[in-house]
Amino acid sequence: MKYEYVMKIYSMEDLKKEGVVVDQRNNIVYACRSDGECEVHDVGVEQLDNMSRLLNQMGQEGWELVQFSFHQSGVVSFWKRSLKKGIKNT
C-alpha cells in the first residue's frame, strides 16, 4: 500500500480562530524550554473539544494523525492517508 504525507502547522492565530486559545484563563497551558521541548500543563474540557474538532476536519478528508506536538509558535501535526489506486504520488 502507498501513502501520501502532509505536515500541517497550526499557528497560534489559527488555533485562536478555531476556539483553541493558549493561556491560563482558557485552560490550555504549555511551556517550551530553550532546547525546544514543550510540555502541556493543563487542558480544559472545552479546549479538548475545540482541538478535537480541528483535528477531525483532517480526519473527515481521510487523513490519519501520525504525530502531534506543541511548539513555541503553535502546533505541528503530521498526517498520512492511503493513495487511491491509479493515483501516483509525486
> Is residue 90's pLDDT more than 80?
no
Q: Does a structural domain hold residue 74?
A: yes
Q: Does a structural domain hold residue 89?
A: no
Q: Does a structural domain hold residue 90?
A: no
For 32-83, give the DSSP string: E-TTS-EEEEEE-HHHHHHHHHHHHHHHHTT-EEEEEEEETTEEEEEEEEEP
Whether pTM exceeds 0.85: no
Q: Does a structural domain hold residue 87?
A: no
Q: Mean of the pLDDT values across residues 46-65?
A: 88
Q: 6-55 pLDDT, tens per residue?
A: 999 988 888 888 887 766 455 456 667 777 777 766 666 677 788 888 89
Predicted local confidence at residue 23, as pLDDT: 61
Q: Does a structural domain hold residue 46?
A: yes
pLDDT greater at residue 69 or residue 31: 69
Domain coverage including residue 46: 3-82
Q: Does a structural domain hold residue 24?
A: yes
Predicted local confidence at residue 81, as pLDDT: 96
Q: Does a structural domain hold residue 88?
A: no
Q: Does a structural domain hold residue 33?
A: yes
Predicted local confidence at residue 66, as pLDDT: 95
* Number of domain units in the chain: 1
